[in-house]
Structure 1
Amino acid sequence: MNTPNPNPDNFDWTAAEADVAEVVDLDAKRARRAAAESGTHFEVNLDEAPQRGGMPVEPPPVDASGKRPIVPANWSTWPNIRHSLAQAAALTGYRAGFHAVRAPQYATLATFWAGVGTFRLIGRQLKWWWVSEQYGLRQAAADANDPAMWLKLHREVKATRMWRGIVLAAEAVAVCVGGPVLYAVAPVWALVLTACLLVAFLAHIGRPEDRRIITPATVSGRFRRVNPDIILRAYYAAGLGHPDKAHQQIGFGSTMARDASGTGSQVSIDLPYGKTFDDAVKARGAIASGLDVAVSQVFITRDPSSHRRHTLWVADRDPLAQGAGRTPLLRCKPTDIWQPAPFGLDERGNKVSVDLMWNSILIGAQPRQGKTFAARSLALYAALDPYVKLTVLDGGGKPDWRKFALVADRYAFGLAMTRDGDPAEIALEALREIKADVQDRYERLSKLPVDICPEGKLTREIARDPKYRMPVRLVVLDEFQEYFDLGDISKEIASLLVYLVKVAPAAGVGFVDATQRPSGVGGGQVATQFISFRDNHQVRFSLRTGSWNVSDLVLGAGANSEGYDSSTLLPSYKGVGILRGASDATPTVRTYLADADDAEKILIAARKLREAAGTLSGMAAGEDVAREVRDVLADVRSVIERGETGAQWEEIAARLADRLPEAYADVTAESVSAQVRSFGVRSVDVKRSGKALKGAKADDIDAAIARRKAA
């Protein structure tokens, strides 16, 4: 037996006649060596005669013995037979209805082309009678000055025309006499049948080859079969081995087989020693080119048994072009945040879930690629768990999140002032409250008994017991880049977000954050904090991006070098992205669809669940959670002691936090400086213990207060 040869022309098509392709023979020495070093997939020797290459893709055996059932499964039992007959009847009915609706169109086209066919048939008959094909022979005899040959051909053509003319005359008589006789004596059904057959025959002659009269009701799919020859060709062309070098040949860890789902073909590949799974992932595009399929049809998965072995799966058709369907959350059943959230289907149709507990999830993409829908699907899952406390902050102010006001403890939409207050201030206050809650949780968890809180970590029982006041929380930020670009207030928001994304998940506070600008904002400290916030997410989901650099920013450094590049996703893929960090695999996921109506239905059900469980809280429950408006200038002036000409920003922040903790518990020197300077107060050097640091003068603050009163 010989090892298959990588033949560039060796393929065939299903649902169509297989092409005969040339197979270049391997020399005997190389064939023997290959057979000794790797598995074999042929039972026939390769030779110079053209033949189909490789072993055809076969479905996997149904049992360990490799035997196939004598009677196909769809005809083996009465339920299966009834189902098969019902399918056949449904398909037949569909086709009948399809063609019945188009019957007038078919009749019109057939009549038109039958008229064309009549003249075309007459022309063919006249051409046949006149023996026009002999004209070239007689002209050649004349050009050769061979009168004897010309006369001979002339006599033959005259004789041929004579008897062919008699045949045509007989045909004309038969038509002219037989037609009226048939019309007079034949029953109606025979006339109709004859007319139909005649029109069909003439229409077939008259219509062009590329103009069909009857449109097929169903179209059989065509997809490329892959076989070992083609796979070897692809891998060698991708530079992953060499067919003529010892120990550089591609091997097979299994025989080629159809995938269990029936949507593709798979085989286990053994790369040469020294080549790795990462090399194969990087060469995915070249492998797809060698297989002569789209790169979206080629998927490579790791084999845990060896780093040079992997499974190659080639889809019959682009598996990402078809959506995953509606979200299963439409059942409106209670969910459990401690269980993974359904997210979508991978390229092979397997269900993909995402753990919201202990994780922060980053979603990035170009506009209108499904980023908000992906984030919202995870938030909807959390909403259906009545014991989860939701905070929804949408910097973009889109309609997609508005209905979360039904269940969210805190929410802010957009940046424009609303009846609930300034959205930026609401977001800041919410983040301050979450930070305080996280710090308080760690302290209280450390004090709980070991039998209640093993290892000092939050448990499901603690989270669902109201006496501990530690429910699981989910913070959702859409277009979060907007909160990093608000001027002075962004400094505190950015500081809080960086702290929370690093520390909060371990306390049972998860994050789902989406942005269309993962590259960052502006410059300075806020820009640095943006990068820190972006890079501290454990799970990343990137829908289509503009370049591999942006894809790496979303998926994390090194993703492109491992073969994961969301910029290669087609613009037509909506809700399709690469999911990294959620599991050992990095699948390409088609997210479930939940449109605005679906979301509203789910959120209405979620609110009822929370009302029944008594967990509706915050803004959703109608509580006034608007931040108390403070006079920052007056508060700062009040903490500058009598006799002091000024105070350093660090001193001011510490004193505010100590004396007014309800409003300034988390204030920093930078944030208070920014707020005070916004009123025209200068930041100047203030000496303390011989050390000069930036601060504010009491006279400058008094002047600012006076200017405000005068205005």
Structure 2
Amino acid sequence: MTDLHAPANAEDAGTPVPAVPEQAGTPGTPVPVDKVKPATTEVRPRRRVRIDSLRRVVVEAREHAAYRILVRHGAYVLGGTRVLTRRAWDSRTTARHERMMRAAEIAGNEELVRQWEQRAYAYRFARHKRRMDLLQMALNAPKAIASAAVSTGSVLLVLGLMLAWYNHDIHDVLTPLATVIEFVGWVAFIAGVLWEPLLYSLPWLALTGMWAVGRHRQTAPSWALPVGGEERDIVPDEGAILRAIGNLGIAPLNKAIKDGWQPRWVQPTTRSGNGWHTQLQLPLGVTVEMILGKKSVLAHNLLRKPVEVWPTEPPKQPGTLDLWVADQGSLSGAVPPWPLLTEGTTDYFKGVPVAVSQRGEPIIGKLMAANYMVGGIMGSGKSSLVIALLLGAILDPLVIVEAYVMAYNVDYDPLKPRMRKLVKGDDDEDIEAALKALRNLRDEVTLRGKVLEELGGEATKVTRELALKDPRMRPKVVVFDECHELFMHKEYGKEAAELAIKVMKKARKVAITLIWVTVSPTADSLPRDVTRNTSHRVAFAVGDHVANDGLLGSGRHKAGITATTLIPGEDVGTAVTVGFSSKPFEVVRSHYVARDPDKGIDEVTPVVERAMGLHEGGAAADEPTFQPADPLADVAAVLGDETRVLAQEVLHRLAARNPEAYGTWGPTDLKRALEPYGAEQYKSNGVMVVARDRVQDAVLERLAEDVDDFDDE
């Protein structure tokens, strides 16, 4: 008996099967109603089966190398055609101006809207003038051609007469004209030979050009792009960066690329120090945080180590990926020698050299109105930066140095002759000595504040001149190493935290610098208010994001400013810092002043002996030889009395003024230095210039801010 609930054959799949009476007895005999099986209403999804089969075919085709190559290069041609067509349209119309005006309207920038309206009007006026000139030229062409023909014929005829006179042959009168006619004939012959091949090759040349543009813009679908080691370049240009972020496995980004997202480069990829810098506006639904979550993959795609790739989001440009990519191995080579290793004196009030940045620029450790939090796991290089900071400080004869090391650490022993006090150990009496030092500092900042108040309007902060006149106002640098032992002490920890906060809030204008060093940067070991009031924060290799944010500030790891990617034992001396410059962060490599008694190496002791000679003899107390670069002040100096100077000329003058600091600078470096003050170069009459008024206003504004900062203390 046939199963009435199943189709008779495969072709009937998806068709309802009606109820059929069972054949019992004589054909045609009616069957009782209760014996009739009900009709089935189940329908097989034949269309879904076909769609799934089609999808499988498409996926299999995508996985086929030949199909991917065909789609990729075909998409390059189509995408290149679209890009070139748009460029041509933009160049012939005011479409670009209209887009910019709409963007400015959305942003609410009325001034920018007016500027683009003026540019659009100027463009239309110039276009109209060109068209009228062409029309006038067409009207004047017959007359000009006739005039040129007559003039040329006259010249040739005169030459013929001269030639006939010289050769005494009347036939030479037409020789110049015949020569020109023969030359034109040869040109026509060559053109006739080349014309047909050129005519046939033009479409292929155009096709090749469109393909090249499409390939550069990566207009192919992401699944059709090359995989593995194909088309990977060590230089992170726009194409390499798009390929790198397009293969991060971020779903919204993949969807945007598939839908034809056209990247907008806020800043094209440019050379910056020993690396490359670019800014890219991300598509809708894609955040910089998503890119940060794939930092290791991004570094791999760019053929870099994670420490050599730094994606961040600019504070004033939300939705923009700011990417800096170092040259391969540039953060693992030797660090330049410390500039003051063999000679030179310093000025506490101007800072000392401590490191070089990720771009190879010198990093100055500010001492006046600054304090430090330095942390990282053991062996990450904390001491190298602190020792460089202290050695620079003691090369100023006015500076007093104290160190409280709550561990048995020999790093500070060579500096002991130049220190006022060095306490080492983790016993209760050693920790109590550190607590007493904080008590004394509390009293000292109060005393110095009273001295400044007595001076009235003469001084709002300690200056070098004041420190020379009054020994009570001499600059002081105090180090608390392994400070977590102090803050976590059951008996002294609470009082130490309260004293530290009080001292740090008042020490900035009275020339007292505190340096906190720890291997345990957690919420329990470092009071939150101590971290908040720290101006310079340094994170060497740390174990997790908790330690990272404990040093650099809350939310830094999430924002991509993290030292968790530094590898202990490999990235020794490399740190992520906040507060050393106007940038959100800096990756620095600290100078290493070597001292290894086992190998007979000691570069520290000669510096200390030189500092002792300066301190005891008082030599060069008011004439420091080390002058850290101040780009804003230096630009103001090289501008002189000129109202505006070409940006390239400013760079030449800066390089002549300070070759070590500005010798390798380019336009991007100049912009980066002046932009935080609103004094960066701008275009005037088609060239980039730097305005004296802008720079001078920035200098005055910075001075006013410094005064306000001290007045707020």
Q: TM-score, normalised by structure 2?
A: 0.51
Q: Give the drift of 1:271.
A: 3.4
Q: Hey, what's the Cα distance between the residues in 2 that align with 1:51 and 1:253? A: 20
Q: Give the drift of 1:475.
A: 1.1
SS at match of 2:374: strand
Match for residue 439 of structure 2? 432
Q: Does 1:26 align with 2:75?
A: yes
Q: Give the drift of 1:535.
A: 4.0
SS at match of 2:514: strand
Q: Hey, what's the Cα distance between the residues in 1 that align with 2:441 and 2:308? A: 44
Q: Hey, what's the Cα distance between the residues in 2 that align with 1:45 and 1:289? A: 34
Q: Hey, what's the Cα distance between the residues in 1 that align with 2:206 and 2:316? A: 31
Do the aligned partners of 1:412 and 1:424 also contact (CA within 8 Å) in 2? no
Q: Does 1:608 align with 2:613?
A: yes
Match for residue 151 of structure 1? none
The Cα offsets for residues 206-230 of structure 1, whole Å up to 9 and x where unpaired, read as xxxxxxxxxxxxxxxx972444332
Do the aligned partners of 2:540 and 2:575 also contact (CA within 8 Å) in 1? yes
Match for residue 443 of structure 1? 450
| Structure 2: 5+ residue stretches without partners | 1-61, 64-68, 91-204, 219-231, 596-601, 622-713
- Paired letter, 1:251: R
Q: Give the drift of 1:508.
A: 1.8
Q: Hey, what's the Cα distance between the residues in 1 that align with 2:565 and 2:217? A: 32
Q: Hey, what's the Cα distance between the residues in 2 that align with 1:535 and 1:447? A: 30
Change in 2 beyond 3 A, CA 1:397/1:32: same
Q: How does 1:47-66 map to 2 (within 5 A)?
A: 54=216
Match for residue 579 of structure 1? 577
Q: Hey, what's the Cα distance between the residues in 1 that align with 2:580 and 2:484? A: 23
Change in 2 beyond 3 A, CA 1:37/1:48: closer
Q: Hey, what's the Cα distance between the residues in 2 that align with 1:298 and 1:395? A: 36
The Cα offsets for residues 605-645 of structure 1, whole Å up to 9 and x where unpaired, read as 111111112999xxxxxxxxxxxxxxxxxxxxxxxxxxxxx
Change in 2 beyond 3 A, CA 1:278/1:339: farther
Do the aligned partners of 1:338 and 1:356 also contact (CA within 8 Å) in 2? yes
Q: Does 1:556 align with 2:553?
A: yes
Match for residue 335 of structure 1? 346
Q: Hey, what's the Cα distance between the residues in 1 that align with 2:77 and 2:217? A: 20
Change in 2 beyond 3 A, CA 1:427/1:266: closer
Q: Hey, what's the Cα distance between the residues in 1 that align with 2:544 and 2:433? A: 35
- Paired letter, 1:599: V
Match for residue 496 of structure 1? 499
Change in 2 beyond 3 A, CA 1:581/1:567: same
The Cα offsets for residues 64-100 of structure 1, whole Å up to 9 and x where unpaired, read as xxxxxxxxxxxxxxxxxxxxxxxxxxxxxxxxxxxxx
Do the aligned partners of 1:22 and 1:49 also contact (CA within 8 Å) in 2? no
- Paired letter, 1:250: P
Match for residue 142 of structure 1? none
SS at match of 2:581: coil
Match for residue 329 of structure 2? 318
Q: Hey, what's the Cα distance between the residues in 2 that align with 1:518 and 1:305? A: 30
Match for residue 478 of structure 1? 481
Match for residue 249 of structure 1? 262
Do the aligned partners of 1:327 and 1:594 also contact (CA within 8 Å) in 2? yes
The Cα offsets for residues 642-689 of structure 1, whole Å up to 9 and x where unpaired, read as xxxxxxxxxxxxxxxxxxxxxxxxxxxxxxxxxxxxxxxxxxxxxxxx
The Cα offsets for residues 425-448 of structure 1, whole Å up to 9 and x where unpaired, read as 433333222211101111221221
Change in 2 beyond 3 A, CA 1:228/1:377: same
Q: Does 1:510 align with 2:510?
A: no
The Cα offsets for residues 345-386 of structure 1, whole Å up to 9 and x where unpaired, read as 222212222212111110010011111222121111111111
SS at match of 1:337: coil
- Paired letter, 1:430: A
Alignment equivalent of 1:461, drawn from 442, 465, 474 = 465
Q: Give the drift of 1:490.
A: 4.2
| Structure 1: 5+ residue stretches without partners | 1-7, 10-19, 57-221, 522-526, 617-711
Where is the helix percentage greater, Structure 1 or Structure 2? 2
Do the aligned partners of 1:303 and 1:309 also contact (CA within 8 Å) in 2? yes
SS at match of 2:617: helix
Change in 2 beyond 3 A, CA 1:324/1:412: same
Q: Give the drift of 1:565.
A: 1.7
Change in 2 beyond 3 A, CA 1:49/1:225: same
The Cα offsets for residues 528-560 of structure 1, whole Å up to 9 and x where unpaired, read as x74433443121100001112211111110111
Q: Does 1:382 align with 2:390?
A: no
SS at match of 1:423: helix
Q: Does 1:598 align with 2:603?
A: yes
SS at match of 2:558: helix
Q: How does 1:105-504 map to 2 (within 5 A)?
A: 224-238=234-248, 239=250, 241=253, 244=257, 248-253=261-266, 256=269, 259=271, 263-272=274-283, 284-300=295-311, 306-309=317-320, 312-415=323-426, 422-450=429-457, 452-453=458-459, 456-466=460-470, 469-504=472-507
The Cα offsets for residues 15-72 of structure 1, whole Å up to 9 and x where unpaired, read as xxxxx999544277655555577999xx98579999995499xxxxxxxxxxxxxxxx
Do the aligned partners of 2:522 and 2:546 also contact (CA within 8 Å) in 1? no
Q: Hey, what's the Cα distance between the residues in 2 that align with 1:513 and 1:277? A: 32
The Cα offsets for residues 293-341 of structure 1, whole Å up to 9 and x where unpaired, read as 3323323477798555565443331322123133222124211111132
The Cα offsets for residues 240-293 of structure 1, whole Å up to 9 and x where unpaired, read as 855557794312356555x365x5445453434786767665654443344343
Do the aligned partners of 1:340 and 1:354 also contact (CA within 8 Å) in 2? yes
Change in 2 beyond 3 A, CA 1:305/1:494: closer
Q: Hey, what's the Cα distance between the residues in 2 that align with 1:428 and 1:305? A: 42
SS at match of 1:561: coil
SS at match of 2:310: strand
Q: Hey, what's the Cα distance between the residues in 2 that align with 1:590 and 1:37? A: 46
**Percentage of identical aligned residues:** 23
Change in 2 beyond 3 A, CA 1:497/1:267: closer
Q: Hey, what's the Cα distance between the residues in 2 that align with 1:311 and 1:21? A: 34
RMSD, aligned α-carbons: 4.0
- Paired letter, 1:26: A
Do the aligned partners of 1:21 and 1:53 also contact (CA within 8 Å) in 2? no
Change in 2 beyond 3 A, CA 1:229/1:246: same
Do the aligned partners of 2:434 and 2:480 also contact (CA within 8 Å) in 1? no
The Cα offsets for residues 158-192 of structure 1, whole Å up to 9 and x where unpaired, read as xxxxxxxxxxxxxxxxxxxxxxxxxxxxxxxxxxx
Q: Hey, what's the Cα distance between the residues in 2 that align with 1:45 and 1:286? A: 35
- Paired letter, 1:376: I
Q: Does 1:565 align with 2:570?
A: no
Change in 2 beyond 3 A, CA 1:373/1:223: farther
Match for residue 707 of structure 2? none
Change in 2 beyond 3 A, CA 1:403/1:32: same
Do the aligned partners of 1:479 and 1:516 also contact (CA within 8 Å) in 2? yes
Alignment equivalent of 1:546, drawn from 530, 543, 546 = 543
The Cα offsets for residues 98-155 of structure 1, whole Å up to 9 and x where unpaired, read as xxxxxxxxxxxxxxxxxxxxxxxxxxxxxxxxxxxxxxxxxxxxxxxxxxxxxxxxxx
Do the aligned partners of 2:79 and 2:214 also contact (CA within 8 Å) in 1? no
Do the aligned partners of 1:372 and 1:478 also contact (CA within 8 Å) in 2? no
Q: Hey, what's the Cα distance between the residues in 1 that align with 2:70 and 2:610? A: 61
Q: Hey, what's the Cα distance between the residues in 2 that align with 1:44 and 1:363? A: 60
Q: How does 1:646-685 map to 2 (within 5 A)?
A: none
Q: Hey, what's the Cα distance between the residues in 1 that align with 2:516 and 2:482? A: 8
Match for residue 104 of structure 2? none
Change in 2 beyond 3 A, CA 1:315/1:520: closer
Q: Hey, what's the Cα distance between the residues in 2 that align with 1:510 and 1:44? A: 67
Q: Hey, what's the Cα distance between the residues in 2 that align with 1:23 and 1:226? A: 21
Match for residue 72 of structure 1? none
Q: Hey, what's the Cα distance between the residues in 2 that align with 1:36 and 1:271? A: 24
